């Protein structure tokens, strides 16, 4: 019941992320830190922080770590 509803909600949240936010989210699920994400995507750490803030906001997560833990459960596996 509740677990399925949570998964559906999370999939809707992921669908609301921009393509770049999804890229950042996917890297978060691997345990990558801000600098690693910035280097991997060739963007600044400030831009990573902005994407993480948007992800947290859309997910209703208090911290990036909380968002990452939730994302691990619902993000599709890496291509």
Instruction: Judge residue 12's burial from the number of C-beta atoms within 10 Å of its C-beta, 0-12 exposed, 13-18 middle, 19 or more buried.
Output: exposed
pLDDT at position 79 is 47
Could you tell me which of 38, 27, 8 has the C-alpha nearest to residue 68? 27
Query: Taking the chain (79 residues) in consecutive chunks of 10 residues, what is each chunk's mean pLDDT?
Result: 69 90 95 97 98 94 92 70
Could you tell me which of 3, 10, 4, 18 has the C-alpha nearest to residue 70? 10
pLDDT at position 6 is 73
pTM (predicted TM-score): 0.84
């Amino acid at each position: 019941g509740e677990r399925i509803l949570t998964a559906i909600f999370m999939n809707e949240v992921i669908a609301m992320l921009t393509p770049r936010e999804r890229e950042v989210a996917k890297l978060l699920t691997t345990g990558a830190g801000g600098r690693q994400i910035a280097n991997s995507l060739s963007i600044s750490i400030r831009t990573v922080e902005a994407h993480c803030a948007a992800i947290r906001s859309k997910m209703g997560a208090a911290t990036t770590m909380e968002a990452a833990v939730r994302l691990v459960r619902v993000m599709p596996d890496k291509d």
